[in-house]
Amino acid sequence: MKIISTKNNLQVLHEDNHLIVVNKRVGDLVQGDKTGDKPLSEVVKEYLKEKYNKPGEVFLGIVHRLDRPTTGIVVFARTSKALTRMNELFSNRETKKTYWAVVKNKPEKPQAQLVHYLKRNEKNNTSKAHTKEVPDSKLASLDYTIIKELTNYFALEINLHTGRHHQIRAQLAAINCPIKGDLKYGFDRSNPDGGIHLHARKLVFVHPVSKEPLSITAPVPDDVIWKAI
């Protein structure tokens, strides 16, 4: 059964005067789109408005996004100062992002770096990973480690070096390791909740205002396979 985030069940991982970090559920849309569904950004605004009894409009800046079928850490800025500085941290790659993924096939090596050139197809909203540079492609790099062998699947820990459209999904598909439930990238059947087994597990960065180091970890979804990891 799929549970969408609301102001009453929001999973807040960190909150201060400048930032709020939440654990996104499957199906949560980070930012409004053509579906017209209420995005997570609006849910967080409602939560803040009620919690702090704020009159008028609540400021909330979207720092980054996660794909709709993905779960895990999403950071929002509560002040314009924090938004500007967080945008800089992300664009300068001064954050350490760790993901967990459950894949169908065992990668050739227990750990490796993957480097591809990703070309985005706007029509069907996918990215294709190429081994050599092609026109309009962008360099994509990550490293993975197998952290657990399950009965039918393999759990990987992934560190992103770049932040490209559908990067992890496309790069793992390119080595014949599609993510569980990811029909778009070659997995053979969907998950019951419509999500995929890709979770933004950990984010490490320096707080944009206090300058204190922050390390945030998101609990995995309540799911048999995730719990086995």
Rounded mean pLDDT, 112-139: 93
Nearest to 144, CA basis, from 118, 180, 195, 109: 109
Q: What percent of the chain has pLDDT over 70?
A: 100
d(CA 145, CA 213): 25
Band of residue 37 on the pLDDT scale cut at 50, 70, 90: confident
Decide if 125 is inside a domain. yes
Is the model's pLDDT at 36 over the cut of 80? Answer: no
In a domain, residue 1? The reply is no
Q: What are the tokens at 14?
A: 């960190």
Residue 177: give its domain's CATH number. 3.30.2350.10
- Per-residue pLDDT of 52-107, as tens digits, reads 998 888 999 999 999 999 999 999 999 999 999 999 999 898 999 999 999 989 99
pLDDT at 46: 95
2 lies in some domain: no
CA-based radius of gyration for the chain: 18
Contact (Cβ atoms closer than 8 angstroms) between residue 20 and residue 74:
no
pLDDT (0 to 100) of residue 1: 61
Q: What is the mean pLDDT of the chain?
A: 94
Query: Phi and psi dihedrals of 157, rounded to 5?
Result: -105, 130
The pLDDT value given to residue 122:
87
Determine contact, residues 149/103, Cβ cutoff 8 Å. no
Q: Which domain holds residue 25?
A: 10-226
Burial 171-189 (b: 16+ CB within 10 A, else e): bbbbbebbbbbbebbebee
Q: Is residue 93 part of a domain?
A: yes
CA distances to 48, 66, 99, 207 from 165, in Å: 30, 10, 15, 25
Backbone angles phi, psi at 78, to 5 degrees: -95, -10
164 belongs to a structural domain = yes
Q: Which of 32-41, 56-65, 114-123, 153-162 has the lowest mean pLDDT?
A: 32-41
Which residue type does 188 have? D
pLDDT at 183 over 70: yes
Report if residue 5 sits inside a domain: no
The pLDDT value recorded for residue 3 is: 83
- The count of domains in the chain is 1
Residue 170 has pLDDT above 70, yes or no: yes
pLDDT at 193 exceeding the cut of 70: yes
pTM as predicted: 0.94
In the predicted structure, residue 35 carries a pLDDT above the cut 80: no
Asked if residue 85 belongs to a domain, the reply is yes
Q: What's 179's DSSP letter? A: B
Contact by Cβ (8 Å): 209, 148: no
**Residue 48 counted as domain residue:** yes
